[in-house]
Amino acid sequence: MVHLNQNHPVPLQRTATLLKDFFDLPVSQAAVHKAGPSAKEALQPTVQRIADACVNAPVLNADETGLRVAKELHWLHALATDTLSWMDCHPKRGAAAFEDMGLLKQFQGILVHDGWIAYKTLECHHALCNAHHLRELTYLLEQQSQVWAGDMIEVLTHANHTDNLNCAQGNTPNYQSVKYQHQVRELRDLYDAVLVQAELAHPVAQPNAKRGRTKQSKAVNLIGRLRQTSDDVWRFMTQGNVPFTNNLAEQAVRMPKVKQKVSVCFRTTEGAHTYCVIRSYVATMQKQGVDIFAALVSTFKGHVPQPNFGCGA
């Protein structure tokens, strides 16, 4: 029941129907619902260890997305490495959530994220998701015919290719080799040259008599971000195990969004937390190649199979 309703977001009624059809086992929707909290209680200590392992990882991916809970907007917060996934929900999106959940406040490694300003308040190193930059650049190129955006796309994609080649050479990428450092400098010079070209084409709008900030174009905002956070943009090339994108965290929030589409919303906060605990465990075990159904069977028998808590990238 947990495997169908929580891991594969099959609704309560359909889960009960499938059990009757497959196993001639009549169960009520209430029985299906009660299985979730039982799994949460058993899995909570393991998921707490997953959270602790994420905090101690050298590189951590973070993302958040809206989640409807009890007819109100909450936020699903996700942390991920190559081998671990952790998520929970909170009524707030930013600093209040970070404070209450505590994990990111403790993190001292490199946090990969989409550049949302709340992450920048955290006392850790930062790496920006370049998939987000490429999407914005593609829009400027295709919808507004801005040539510099095409040049920047080429620079960033070539840099990613160069980094991938470096990682593919031997078991340990050599980020300090003279050849690689020369390639990084050349690419950074091209990056700066494209930004100069972009800044000339799109100067910052001067303040006017209106109160508040002067509105800037999408191009100016992106140019400013690429200039002011250039070290974070390029961290994937300068430090080991830092990815080019934030895809690990984005992948972590996809199934919860599917669950929400199926169920429309979580009726209670407790139900949302139950889902997050189960999903954290299941997603982690999936990454580590564990049979999820067998792991859940063992859990309900009183023995929770443990993932490898070693810090992935």
Structure tokens at 313: 């990238």
Q: What is the spatial distance between Cα 71 and Cα 81, in angstroms, rounded to a whole number?
A: 31
Which among 280, 273, 279 has a CA at the least distance from the CA of 91? Answer: 273
Structure tokens at 161: 């290719």
Say whether pLDDT at 101 is over 80.
Answer: yes
Say whether pLDDT at 286 is over 90.
Answer: yes
| H or E element in which residue 66 lies | strand 59-69
Q: What is the spatial distance between Cα 224 and Cα 237, in angstroms, rounded to a whole number?
A: 21
On whether the CB atoms of residues 285 and 295 are closer than 8 A, the answer is yes
On whether the CB atoms of residues 263 and 158 are closer than 8 A, the answer is no
Amino acid symbol at 305: P
Each residue of 145-180: pLDDT tens digit? 999 999 999 999 999 999 988 887 765 667 788 888
pTM, to two decimals: 0.91
On whether the CB atoms of residues 75 and 66 are closer than 8 A, the answer is yes
Structure tokens at 163: 């980094």
Q: What is the model's pLDDT at position 312?
A: 52
Residue 85, φ and ψ in degrees, nearest 5:
-140, 135
CATH tag for 2-126+249-300 (out of 2.120.10, 3.30.420, 3.30.9, 3.90.1200)? 3.30.420
Between helices 29-55 and 269-287, what is the axis angle to 10°?
Answer: 60
Q: How far is C-alpha 50 from the chain's CA centre?
A: 15
Q: What is the spatial distance between Cα 93 and Cα 75, in angstroms, rounded to a whole number?
A: 6
Residue range(s) in the chain whose domain bears CATH number 3.30.420: 2-126+249-300
Which among 295, 304, 249, 276 has a CA at the least distance from the CA of 82? Answer: 249
Each residue of 207-254: pLDDT tens digit? 876 767 778 899 999 999 999 999 999 999 998 889 999 999 999 999
The contacts of residue 9 (CB under 8 Å, 6+ apart) are 255, 258, 259, 262, 263
Q: What is the spatial distance between Cα 221 and Cα 28, in angstroms, rounded to a whole number?
A: 54
Mean pLDDT, the chain, whole residue set? 92
Tracing tokens 């589409």 back to the chain, one arrives at 261
Confidence band, pLDDT 50/70/90 cuts, at residue 274: very high
Each residue of 9-26: pLDDT tens digit? 999 999 999 999 999 999
